[in-house]
Chain A
């Protein structure tokens, strides 16, 4: 595998969840985190999963990542059953999950070193490419704790992109950031998504964020986790989170979300 092919974007992947249920057994009994959820994510689609906490959206992401397995039903990546984590599906976590014992480029290299067929020099070049893609070309040897929250998530993004996955799974990656930093990252992630042609599954509880980023927004309801509604977002890109059009879509979804939450309060 040459450096050139490595730096070319891998073809975006296809994800399918077919009749997926996931039950967790806790001290207080069994919780059905996902109940018979079916979902298809097309090649190159930017899909956002939204819902109140406990609706199973992060659980579904973990199942797609292969970090956990469904109690019943199947998860398919490119038509193949998911049997564990794979370099074709990289994950970005809410907590940046960067390794504090490595510097910035060491973190980006971690996954690359596990990828066969590259020389050390080529790996460094790939890592440098992704660090400049996220605007951190001057921070190769910075320590993780020296970075701001936004910069940490940029490193985490570069680390996830570096092994050239077909699918990017993002679990509330911007939830812990301030509003201004978040808005910058919305712009960046849209640019990178278009440039690198990834399929992205993005979990968030922030409806505006979902509308700003997603081609499609899937709304989950909790107890048990089910798909409640789907919304197409046919807005042109790049999108501005403060635009009126975007707000209109967000209001529609928020109304539906409030319906879920008040129903939950009544049933409790």
Chain B
């Protein structure tokens, strides 16, 4: 309860001082639109459906690309941890590419796929895949060997050990990697949408870019707000329940 109140008070103060700062006249509303104006844009965007549609387009790209990235990243990470050869090849490649901000893939994606959904998808997959792969592989390799020894004495080996020991033991790493992958995917998609106009669907990034072109800063800030809210919701709905479960089961994380 106290935590809810403190969050609420903080954001009210933030919005209040922002509104006051905008109204003081020190800055043009073009540069710093007041929150009331942003709210007006949001309301309008929601009622005419443009915001909802853009959100839908973006989320579709994000979920599809992220899903593909996780689906490929987890098994590849497991294989990388299992086979020394893959660790020295694929693992090294992943480590290198992971340092590359995935927006750097946009020029290549455009060249390969044109201004299409496939280009967007490619950028998102590139943002997700490598961090998920590395987190999975790291998680498996950080596994204390005693777990596998104990499992072997109870008759577990091969596939059974992978499914019932290695995978659950590395779950905290895995979810950490998936969370990081999500953040990377989200950032890379926004960058790609801002850079590239795709005619098959206008996403949030494009909406933001149009706001810039029209000098409609209320639209820019409004879309930014939507992006932040989606990010927060994803964290709360997708990842927080897992993390809470891990903290409870493993007894990690005294601050919660």
A87 with B154: CB separation less than 8 A:
yes
| Among listed B86-94, B161-169, B189-197, interface-contacting one | B161-169
Min CB–CB distance A153 → chain B (angstroms): 13
Q: Tell me which residues from 74 to 108 in chain A have a Cβ below 8 Å from any Cβ of chain B.
A: 84-87, 89-91, 93, 95, 97, 99-103
CB-CB under 8 A for A143 and B169, given A67-B152, A97-B146, A110-B151? no
B9 within 8 A of A: no
Interface 1/0 per residue, B132-169 and A, CB below 8 Å: 00000000000000110111111110001000110011
> Which residues from chain B contact A111 at a C-beta distance below 8 Å?
154-155
Min CB–CB distance B198 → chain A (angstroms): 42
A138 within 8 A of B: no
A163 within 8 A of B: yes
> Which residues from chain A contact B241 at a C-beta distance below 8 Å?
none
A101 with B250: CB separation less than 8 A:
yes
Min CB–CB distance B172 → chain A (angstroms): 9
> Which residues from chain B contact A144 at a C-beta distance below 8 Å?
251
A191 within 8 A of B: no
Instruction: Give A159 to B151 CA distance when docked, in angstroms.
Output: 11
Instruction: Give A66 to B154 CA distance when docked, in angstroms.
Output: 11
Q: Quick one: which of B146, B164, B171 contacts A110, CB cutoff 8 A? A: B164
A101 with B149: CB separation less than 8 A:
no
A90 with B169: CB separation less than 8 A:
no
B153 with A65: CB separation less than 8 A:
yes
> Which residues from chain A contact B236 at a C-beta distance below 8 Å?
none
Q: Which residue of B is nearest A114, CB measured?
A: B155
Q: A93-B150, A146-B251 are in contact. List 20 more A-B contacts (CB 8 A).
A: A67-B153, A85-B153, A87-B155, A90-B153, A90-B154, A91-B150, A93-B149, A95-B146, A97-B150, A99-B169, A100-B169, A101-B169, A101-B171, A101-B249, A101-B250, A143-B248, A143-B251, A144-B251, A145-B249, A163-B154
> Which residues from chain A contact B248 at a C-beta distance below 8 Å?
143
Q: Quick one: which of A86, A114, A143, A159 contacts B249, CB cutoff 8 A? A: A143
Q: Which residue of B is nearest A84, CB measured?
A: B152
CB-CB under 8 A for A99 and B147, given A87-B155, A114-B156, A163-B154? yes
A115 within 8 A of B: yes
- A interface list, Cβ under 8 A from B: 65-67, 84-87, 89-91, 93, 95, 97, 99-103, 110-111, 114-115, 143-146, 159, 163
B153 with A114: CB separation less than 8 A:
no
Min CB–CB distance A15 → chain B (angstroms): 15
Which of under 10, 10 to 19, 20 to 34, or 35 or more describes the interface residues of B?
20 to 34
Selected A-B contacts with CB under 8 Å, 16 pairs: A67-B149, A67-B153, A89-B153, A90-B153, A90-B154, A93-B150, A99-B147, A99-B168, A100-B169, A101-B171, A101-B250, A110-B151, A114-B156, A144-B251, A145-B249, A146-B251
Instruction: Give A143 to B244 CA distance when docked, in angstroms.
Output: 14
Instruction: Give A110 to B160 CA distance when docked, in angstroms.
Output: 11
Instruction: Give A153 to B171 CA distance when docked, in angstroms.
Output: 24
Q: Which residue of A is nearest B164, CB measured?
A: A110
> Which residues from chain B contact A143 at a C-beta distance below 8 Å?
248-251
Max chain B CB contacts within 10 Å: which of A67, A95, A101, A163? A101
Min CB–CB distance A14 → chain B (angstroms): 19
Min CB–CB distance A72 → chain B (angstroms): 23
Q: Which residue of A is nearest B151, CB measured?
A: A110
Instruction: Give A248 to B154 CA distance when docked, in angstroms.
Output: 39
A145 with B153: CB separation less than 8 A:
no
Instruction: Give A99 to B146 CA distance when docked, in angstroms.
Output: 10
Instruction: Give A85 to B169 CA distance when docked, in angstroms.
Output: 21
A145 with B250: CB separation less than 8 A:
yes
